[in-house]
Amino acid sequence: MKHQRLLEQIHQQVGELIGQGEVASYIPALARVDPDQFGFALCGVDGSEASVGSADTPFSIQSVSKVFSLSLALQLIGEQLWERIGREPSGDPFNSLVQLEHEHGKPRNPFINAGAIAVADRLVSHCVDAKRSLLEMVSGLLDSPVDYDYEVAASEAAHGSRNAATAHFMRSFGNLDNPVEVVLDVYFHQCALTLSCRQMARACAYLANGGVNPGTGGRVLTERQVRRINALMLTCGTYDVAGEFAFMIGLPCKSGVGGGIIATVPEQMSLCVWSPALGPSGNSLAGTKALELFAAEAGVSVF
């Protein structure tokens, strides 16, 4: 399979970058992760797959989970979700409080921390048990059970002062309906979802397939909703370097400080790369380069 050969080639090409950079250290449970790991997997809309390296090693997906929580919120609420959350790039760090004050507690987009916390609040309002509902959604995408890393979730909570400040700030503007501690509990657990590259590529394949899960044939979202999520991934999905990702890679991407990055090739495939060592922007160094090489060699781009 040509994609298998390409992934093997890319694995060799990024070898010198694997382990360069720093693992996320502000969450102690992430600081202990071995940086010298690399996995890359893809899942085609036709069900074909390819993978290399540590593609079956589970990792904490962190902010990549925001794609799943946003998808669940759109399932439950639809367009009303945007009354509380914007759709513009922030241009600031993912945990910045600056814009919230100027914009009266309304987050710029659902992929910065403030926006994801606002999404978690909506899930609390519309689910009997938001944490379980999110697990059930992701498990349904894979047709197999997944779980949270409860050590990571506890570590997130113990070192989540800035997220707590963000949530209280939004609540002061009336943009959170539920108690801050309840909303943050959902948010910290979603960040602690644990999946492998292979699982992530499969779980996100609906984003490349017009909202239909290729593995199960079930519809996850409408075509319009999927286009919107991919647009937000392209413009807001990789912290404050989304423009650079669009320029160098040309695909909708969503990254996390656990070192994972997903990417969508519409009507073709979903991709997931993971390498825990991060660059200055908080994105995986080796993972970013691997996606750049894949897009160039495979000739895929949304432009």
Active site positions, annotated:
63, 66, 187, 239, 257
Q: At what angle do helices 113-126 and 180-191 cross, to 10 degrees?
A: 110
CA distances to 7, 156, 166, 214, 224 from 162, rounded to whole Å, are 38, 11, 6, 38, 34
Which H or E run contains 5? Answer: helix 2-13
Select from 83, 3, 16 the least CA-distant residue to 45: 3
Distances from the Cα of 98 to the Cα of 122, 125, 180, 188, angstroms = 23, 27, 19, 22
Contact (CB, 8 A) for 274 and 39: yes
Contact 221, 230 (CB under 8 A): no
Angle between helix axes 130-142 and 65-77 (nearest 10 degrees) is: 110
